[in-house]
A and B are shown apart, each in its own frame.
Chain A
């Protein structure tokens, strides 16, 4: 399946992917039109393999036929190309370094841990819950009393984290715990993000995500 030759911006993605959602939220924030191409990760398309030969993963942004891979690299790219609107990274170097640090922290810690929340059972699950709360508490300390991670404006770290917030309800149901009780500030932050058009448009329904994770659990034989 070839990309539409007339589409300047093409996104290879999966509806449920939090990494893909980051890119879509960034594109929405910037008001960029793009062609969305849902990928089959079992029978990977030639386009995906050619666009991301190193990882063969989504998301991949193809701009003027040139592919950009890795969600946070793509979000920075989007921020730099469409710099006239909704800046995601702050202007000042130290603040930018802080934003990159926390987005990188989210990448290093959240995905692996949250995968254990829906994949594991018994003692492994209890450990996953403990690890998850520790990570979210660390983020909560960083957020403090700010509206968003960078202050008053929605930005890079918010984009990096909010797709995982979109899965909180599903994690709570599957792992049987209450995130808001221990981390009310992060949950409040997540709800503030959901008021943004870009976020509410892109993040799937809680129920859809919950059913998707249940389906994955079944597929992987976790029951």
Chain B
């Protein structure tokens, strides 16, 4: 039936693509994964997301839904079963706020570290990453209330919004030599990261850190001038 037809346009390395994949897995929804080739955009992608021409795009019965956190909310509303967003409006607002913060400030700071043009800009980006993790540690403490995930006993919206970035966080740690998820600073997050990554809805879609490191090095080599001798 066309309305049951679920496709996801994405790419293995994208943390944003991981989000709807985790959500679909949590709901037990089968879908076809359409991997985009790196360096080019398919006709389907351009047609489905003419505004941004970016992945992920969920196609449900042929209808496109774009923007990863909007897709996650759609998945939560379109399929019953595991609840991703909390039922209480205030907690939903808190979850949406942190999803916004992660995309607006935290992840750009993380990716900004390697792209920082000056040492000062790099230092500022690193500080922003640590500050964000400190905030999120507090959120986990408050909302998790001793439970393993932001969503409590099960994975929820904030878990998905933040957890999809763990691959790149670990890759950045390897590339920079700095530890961001530090047990002495954010012990709850360290524990959470392990549990999240091991969750059956997550582990099959979490990219390997070494592969991401390789990918990052390939990107850097491709986009920067060769070093002079």
Interface positions of A (Cβ within 8 A of B): 53-54, 63, 66, 68-70, 73-74, 76-77, 80-81, 93-94, 96-97, 100-101, 104-105, 138
Contacts of B101 in A (CB 8 A): 54
User: Given A73-B100, A97-B65 in contact, is the A104-B70 Cβ separation under 8 Å?
Assistant: yes
Rounded to whole Å, the gap between the CB of A87 and the closest CB of chain B is: 14
Can you list the 9 inter-chain pairs with the closest CB atoms, starting with the nearest?
A: A93-B77, A80-B89, A77-B93, A97-B74, A93-B78, A73-B96, A68-B93, A97-B65, A100-B70
* B60 with A94: CB separation less than 8 A: yes
* A100 with B73: CB separation less than 8 A: yes
* B100 with A68: CB separation less than 8 A: no
Rounded to whole Å, the gap between the CB of A121 and the closest CB of chain B is: 26
Interface string of B173-213 (1 = CB under 8 A from A): 00000000000000000000000000000000000000000
* A77 with B70: CB separation less than 8 A: no
User: Given A73-B97, A94-B60 in contact, is the A66-B70 Cβ separation under 8 Å?
Assistant: no
Contacts of A73 in B (CB 8 A): 93, 96-97, 100
Identify the closest chain B residue to A81 (Cβ): B89
Within 8 A of A (CB), among B42-76: 51, 60, 63, 65-67, 70-71, 73-74
Rounded to whole Å, the gap between the CB of B70 and the closest CB of chain A is: 5
Distance of A54 Cα from B67 Cα, bound (Å): 23
Rounded to whole Å, the gap between the CB of A128 and the closest CB of chain B is: 20
Distance of A81 Cα from B89 Cα, bound (Å): 6
Identify the closest chain B residue to A69 (Cβ): B97
Distance of A100 Cα from B78 Cα, bound (Å): 15
- A94 is contacted by which of B51, B65, B90, B93 (Cβ under 8 Å)? B65
* A97 with B90: CB separation less than 8 A: no
Identify the closest chain A residue to B74 (Cβ): A97
30 A-B pairs in the complex with CB atoms less than 8 angstroms apart: A53-B135, A54-B105, A54-B135, A68-B90, A69-B97, A70-B96, A70-B97, A70-B100, A73-B96, A73-B97, A74-B93, A76-B96, A77-B92, A80-B92, A93-B77, A93-B78, A94-B63, A94-B65, A94-B74, A94-B78, A96-B74, A96-B77, A97-B65, A97-B73, A97-B74, A101-B65, A101-B66, A104-B70, A105-B51, A138-B51
